[in-house]
Structure 1
Amino acid sequence: MLKTLMLILLIALIASLFGGLNFLVKDLGGNNKKRLLYALGLRVTLAVMLIGTIVYGAYTGQIKSQAPWDKQLHPENVAPSIPTAPAAPKP
């Protein structure tokens, strides 16, 4: 559910980005420059919502990192290694 919400927010963010680009090109010399500002405000709001959703998911544990460098932070997620036999002592 949370990943679906994040995907929807990301798609809406990208759509808002292209909508702002459309307003920038169409309203190049016109008087309706407020549409570009509204698109920017919507984009910032969507970005804050997306970051908030990511932080919430990481805090509750619904989103887990699978980065290789994160295994040191969470050793319980690393598969146990096969124990090796001790080396024979040298005479």
Structure 2
Amino acid sequence: MLKAAIVLMLAATVTSLFSGLFFLIKDDSQSTRLVKALALRVILAALTLALIAWGFYSGQLVSHVTW
């Protein structure tokens, strides 16, 4: 369940990234949609990092790295 939430948050972050690119190309200079897309992307990235941290803290995500 946690892994699915992380993948969903990453997909939403990428979607926000491309919507910001679209707003950058198509909107005029007075529009605030680009700033809102950037703010949303930052929030989504922070939530994704928080989910990953929570997963490691709770033991739902483990690292099998041998080093």
Q: How large is the RMSD of aligned CA atoms in angstroms?
A: 0.9
User: Normalising to structure 2: TM-score of the pair?
Assistant: 0.94
1:50 corresponds to: 48
Q: How many residues align?
A: 67
By percentage of residues, which structure has more helix? 2
Identity %: 45
**Which amino acid in structure 2 is aligned with residue 3 of structure 1?**
K
Q: Which has the higher contact order (CA 8 A, sep 6+)?
A: 2
State the structure with more CA Rg. Answer: 1
Structure 1: 4+ residue segments shifted above 3 A? none
Structure 1 unaligned residues grouped into runs of 5+: 70-91
5+ residue gaps, structure 2, are: none
Calculate the TM-score normalised by the size of structure 1: 0.70
